[in-house]
A and B are shown apart, each in its own frame.
Chain A
Amino acid sequence: MPRKTRLRKVVEPPRFKGYRPFGVNAKNKDGIDLHYEEYEAIKLADYDLMNHKEAAEIMGVSRPTFARIYESARRKIAQALVETKNINTVYGNAIMDKDWFVCNKCHARFNIPKGMDSEKCPACNSINIESLNK
């Protein structure tokens, strides 16, 4: 029996639910499921321009595993483009990195660990804070 899939750390989930091609007549509704961790792999490698080793460390997986996630992501996107399919983002095997917040007044970023229930910014005491994990 194979080992259980390790959860991949994702810093921020994608800000969209999916992508749809336009200018095509076909009305097929079926799309391709792009996992959060695949989106994250594309983001780290091609948007943040990290090498695979750094990106793998961030996601908490080995470099070969990262390469597989990245390959799978590229193939899914390629398939969606060529076959004019929708891309849907689904949760997959991801875990959100941490519960991080940002203060809208002083732009400090911070986490709120367990046992600390204050709902205000630790740097300026503003209550205008926002979660980064939406």
Chain B
Amino acid sequence: MKTIITSSGKGEDQLFDLRFGRAAWFCLYDDTTDLMDFFENKHIDAPSGAGAKVVEELIEMGVNKVISGDFGPKAKDLLEKFNIQMVILKDDHKSIKEIVENFKS
């Protein structure tokens, strides 16, 4: 299962980003290989619909779960349509590593 976590930078020690469409980076975690892959958000400066554009990319990657701080209405509708699980976390002082360890165990 592939999981996306919004991150404020590259690397597993970076802090979790509360934004979804305008998150700085994304961390892709695949639990079959136990690998983390980081990629930058191309739509961070999009004038509108950043969330929806990100969702389209995630659908192409075959992501099953997205962990972020909040989702906009457009992103929510799309994620729901494609049966992707949304997880909303409040705590913003966690690193990507801690979040992954939390749901792995």
Contacts and interface: CB of A to CB of B under 8 A. Distances in A.
Tell me if chain B binds chain A.
Answer: yes
A68 interface: no
Given A58-B73, A123-B99, A110 B86 contact: yes
Interface string B5-35: 0000000000000000000000000000000
Contact of A110 (B73, B80, B87, B105): B87
Chain B interface bracket (under 10, 10 to 19, 20 to 34, 35 or more): 10 to 19
A98 B67 contact: no
Interface string B70-103: 0001001000100111111110000000010011
Contacts of A124: 102-103
Interface stretch (A23-31, A77-85, A114-122): A114-122
| Prevailing SS type, chain B contact patch | mixed
A106 B85 contact: no
A41 B9 CA distance: 39
A112 B102 CA distance: 19
A57 B102 CA distance: 35
A125 B64 CA distance: 16
Nearest to B65: A122
Contacts of A106: 89, 102
Contacts of B87: 108-110, 122-123
Contacts of B73: 57-58
A114 B76 CA distance: 15
Contacts of A114: 83
Interface of A: 57-58, 98, 106-116, 122-125
Interface of B: 64-65, 67, 73, 76, 80, 83-90, 99, 102-103, 105
